[in-house]
Amino acid sequence: MITGRRVRLRALERSDLELWREWINDPEIAAMLDRVLPVSPPEHERFFERCVIGNEHAVWFGIEDAETRRYIGNVWLWNIDNRHRRAEVRTFIGERSAWGSGAGSEGLSLIAVYAFQQLGLHKVFAYVMARNPRGRRALMKAGYHEEARLVGEAFWDGQFQDVWRMARLSC
Ligand SMILES: CC(C)(COP(=O)(O)OP(=O)(O)OC[C@H]1O[C@@H](n2cnc3c(N)ncnc32)[C@H](O)[C@@H]1OP(=O)(O)O)[C@@H](O)C(=O)NCCC(=O)NCCS
């Protein structure tokens, strides 16, 4: 359990699956996570087994409101590379009423500190679409800086779009 001012990061549980699947099937959230197909319950269950429980190169947390203990989203380290001591960070706040509350940026900050202090990583980084100013702002508030603008990196809605790579270093 990692406790911040607004949120707590905790282990994901099987009982989170239903709400979690609802969120990633929300078209606006799916678009920001670069997902194109809706996820069915069996697919989601399989993903949980393989990519959450059975993946030693990832660390997943559920995000809870620190006060109400309500489950509001996820934040996770993906493709943890122990040789280069870096990992990608991904997140979403599924509970739309929590957008703009500081939950997203605090989750991004807490997981960076966890990566540096508990896993000994040196760098965490995230990809955020140029058309996602809220995501970019949340990353900046959490201490991530622009490393590169990847021009024409993503094909979305019939157009090639730019993606920012943002990173935070351990020191
Ligand atoms: C991105 C996301 C995680 C941010 O969570 P959040 O709880 O809203 O984040 P925060 O409240 O900590 O910060 C959001 C900031 O963006 C700002 N913001 C919101 N809309 C904005 C816009 N259109 N342009 C610029 N800034 C914007 C907010 O005002 C806030 O900044 P402030 O505190 O300085 O006012 C959440 O909105 C989300 O899950 N979105 C869908 C999935 C997604 O985009 N994932 C991230 C991929 S990197």
Q: Which residue's structure tokens are 């605090």?
A: 106
What residues contact 83, with CB distance under 8 A and at least 6 apart?
none
Q: Does the pLDDT at position 51 exceed 90?
A: yes
Distance, in Å, from the CA atom of 71 to the CA atom of 20, rounded to the nearest integer, reads 9
The pLDDT tens digits of the residues spanning 133-160 come to: 999 999 999 999 999 999 999 999 899 9
Predicted model pTM:
0.97
Q: Is 142 in the pocket of ligand 1 (CB under 6 A)?
A: no
**Mean of the pLDDT values across residues 6-24?**
97
pLDDT of residue 115: 98
Residue from 89, 134, 144 whose mutation best tests the ligand 1 pocket (most atoms within 8 A of CB): 134
Cβ of 92 closer than 6 Å to ligand 1, yes or no, is yes
DSSP string covering 55-66, please? -TT-EEEEEEET
**CA angle in degrees (0–180, nearest 5) for 128-132-138:** 75
- Smallest CA separation from ligand 1 atom 24, residue: 133
Helix or strand holding residue 139 (H, E): helix 133-141
Closest approach atom of ligand 1 to CA 92: 39
Q: Phi/psi zone of residue 76: left (φ > 0), alpha (ψ -120 to 50 degrees), beta?
A: beta
* Structure-token match 């920012």, residue found: 164
Would you kindly state where each structural domain of the chain is located, as residue ranges? 2-122
Phi, psi of 139 (to 5 degrees): -65, -45
* CATH fold of 2-122: Aminopeptidase (3.40.630)
- For residue 99 and ligand 1, the question of a CB distance below 6 A is answered with yes
How far, in Å, from the CA of 99 to the mean position of ligand 1? 6
